[in-house]
Amino acid sequence: MPGWKREPLEDYEVDELIEQAASMSDEHELIVRMLLHTRIQADDIAHIQSDWVKWRRGGVWVQPAGDWTPKSDAGYRVIPLRDPDVKRLLNQRFSE
């Protein structure tokens, strides 16, 4: 039985996914854009704190939050923020 093979989304699929997420809420759009453009893990997004975002340094510093910690030492990392829409949505999220 052949195994499942991951294939990257086509550009139109990415656009449609972002459009659908944006039609739901800014938070949905932020999550989808972060998953697509930063390669951050979903668990990290679920625990992200405003003090993780270092605007001047242009990244998200993944670190412990409350009773949550990354699964391994490799989980403590910097995730670059390059996409302007991710930056805009993160700014909106943490300035509310």
Place of tokens 């403590």: 76
Q: What pLDDT score was predicted for residue 28?
A: 97
Is 6 inside any structural domain? no
Which band of pLDDT confidence, cut at 50, 70 and 90, is reported for residue 1?
Answer: low
Tell me if 4 is assigned to some domain: no
CA torsion, ordered 21, 91, 45, 16, to nearest 10 deg: 20
Task: Domain of residue 58: give its range.
Answer: 11-95
- What average pLDDT does range 55-71 have in this prediction? 89
H or E segment to which residue 35 belongs: helix 26-37
3-state DSSP assignment of residue 4: coil
Neighbours of 90 (CB within 10 A): 21
* Model pTM score: 0.85
Would residue 2 count as lying in a domain? no
In a domain, 68, yes or no: yes
The two tokens of residue 42 are 């979903």
Q: How many domains does the chain have?
A: 1
* Mean pLDDT (the chain, rounded): 91
pLDDT, tens digit, for every residue of 5-27? 889 999 999 999 999 999 999 99
Query: What pLDDT sits at residue 6?
Result: 84
